[in-house]
Amino acid sequence: MLESIEAVKGRRRVSGRALAGTVLLVALLASSVYAADPPAAASGADVALVSWPTPIGDVRYLPGQGLHLGDTHLTLGGYSNVNLVRDEGSPALLKLDDLSLFVIWDPLARLHIFSELEFEDLVQVDGDGQWGNPDYQFTAERLYGDLAVSDAVSIRVGKFLTPVGRWNVIHAQPLVWTTSRPLVTEVPFDPHTTGAMVFGTLFPGANTLTYELYGQATNQLDPTPTSHPADRSGGGRLEYSAWPGWSIGASYLAAEDHGAWRYLGGVDGLYQRDRFEVMGEAVVQDGEQRTDAVWGLYLQGVVETLPNLYVVGRYEHWDPWDSGRASDLFVGGLAYKPYPWLVLKAEYLAADHPVDESPPGFKSSIAILF
């Protein structure tokens, strides 16, 4: 009984820290409204690189927007990412980390079909020039159909990215500012959901409110390795935009793995204006298993210093309650984006206590959206 009382007291102390961290994140995000102006996307004309007439109509390729196959309503695209990393205490590695292929079909104005087939760790070269692909994987990253009833109601069925926070649904390397990924955006939850979603956008006054309600009642389609797989799940997300350049969001997810349930809540925010951007997320999770209990947050700032050259800084806090050892991680680096579809990144990640899922060291990448 004494051990149980002490465990409850300890959990309350940690929960207080989680709440304090969440409040701090929101306060920091709010303070960014008074900062000067965010990174504008690199300009690029919406002009086809190649175009030729065919019996099915004009076939056109636009960099970053894919290959449009005439009048078939089919678009082929994707992205690739090459990493050069050297974690502290480990040899340098050069690898083709991602090759994702998109097949998009819009047969009707209100019907949208999307698939993403992803190759991971295709080729790897170490510091001694040895080639290999020890962790090669091929997965159906996404495969779903959307039916738009109206702006306020759309229905999605299939395998999609779990809408917890912001990073997970935009995680493709050409669309994010760093090669490394914040721990709270992936580790606590399964990044994929196979099931159904109802989502839409409402316009209260001059503001915008988007919502997503989703659930998984079947086994995962082509599951990928994850620290927190979900057999069944259900959740929702709200995002509210009321001021120029500013939006805030909240997420909730309940997930079950082998009969044990866990519960996650999170808040997130984004501020963008001209040459400056601030984005952050915080999550708190607890569950029936002690290893499910964790809280963490990140706050990331980006500023354009020279044309198309961005300085990036990020602070993360990660606290798995079962380990009793919290970690603070710091990322500083540069991103060069000469075109909206091409980004070159270099950064260094430091940590007071190293975390296996995000080891400290030098990381760089070249990412192309094609």
Q: Give me the torsion for CA of 33, 162, 137, 357, rounded to 10°.
A: 50
Read off the pLDDT of residues 328-338 as tens digits, 9 standing for 90 and up: 999 999 999 99
pLDDT score, position 205: 86
Q: How many residues does the chain have?
A: 370
Read off the pLDDT of residues 190-217 as tens digits, 9 standing for 90 and up: 999 999 999 999 999 889 999 999 999 9
Q: In this prediction, what percent of the chain has a pLDDT beyond 90?
A: 71
pLDDT score, position 1: 31
pLDDT score, position 325: 86
Read off the pLDDT of residues 319-358 as tens digits, 9 standing for 90 and up: 998 777 899 999 999 999 999 999 999 999 999 999 999 9
Domain encompassing residue 138: 2-369
pLDDT score, position 14: 35
The CATH number that applies at residue 64 is 2.40.160.10
Nearest to 369 by CA among 83, 78, 101, 118: 78
pLDDT score, position 20: 40
73 has pLDDT over 50: yes
Q: Quick one: average pLDDT of 14-18?
A: 38
pLDDT score, position 32: 34
86 has pLDDT over 60: yes
Task: Give the Cα separation of 181 and 198 in Å (integer).
Answer: 28
Read off the pLDDT of residues 169-196 as tens digits, 9 standing for 90 and up: 999 999 999 999 999 999 999 999 999 9
Find out whether 345 and 335 touch, Cβ atoms under 8 Å.
yes
* Helix (H), strand (E), coil (C) string for the chain: CHHHHHHHHHHHHHHHHHHHHHHHHHHHHHHHHHCCCCCCCCCCCCCCCEEECCCCCCEEEECCCEEEEHHHCEEEEEEEEEEEEEECCCCCEEEEEEEEEEEEEEEECCEEEEEEEEEEEEEEEECCCCEECCCCEEEEEEEEEEEECCCCCEEEEEEEECCCCCHHHHCCHHHCCCCCCCHHHCCCCCCEEEEEEEEEEECCCCCEEEEEEEEECCCCCCCCCCCCCCCEEEEEEEEEEEECCEEEEEEEEEEEECCEEEEEEEEEEEEEECCEEEEEEEEEEEECCHHHCEEEEEEEEEEEEECCEEEEEEEEEEEECCCCCCEEEEEEEEEEEEECCEEEEEEEEEECCCECCECCEEEEEEEEEC
25 has pLDDT over 70: no
Read off the pLDDT of residues 242-300 as tens digits, 9 standing for 90 and up: 888 999 999 999 999 989 999 999 999 999 998 999 999 999 999 998 888 999 999 99
Task: Give the Cα separation of 328 and 151 in Å (integer).
Answer: 41
pLDDT score, position 305: 97
Structure tokens at 258: 């082998």
Q: How confident is the model at residue 7 (pLDDT cuts 50, 70, 90)?
A: very low
HSE value, Cβ hemisphere, 13 Å, CA-based, for 176: 22
Q: How many domains does the chain have?
A: 1
318 has pLDDT over 90: yes
In this structure, the number of other CB atoms found within 10 A of the CB of residue 304 comes to 20
Q: How confident is the model at residue 41 (pLDDT cuts 50, 70, 90)?
A: very low
Nearest to 190 by CA among 157, 216, 170: 216
Q: How confident is the model at residue 45 (pLDDT cuts 50, 70, 90)?
A: very low
Q: How confident is the model at residue 34 (pLDDT cuts 50, 70, 90)?
A: very low
Q: Quick one: average pLDDT of 88-117?
A: 94
pLDDT score, position 130: 72
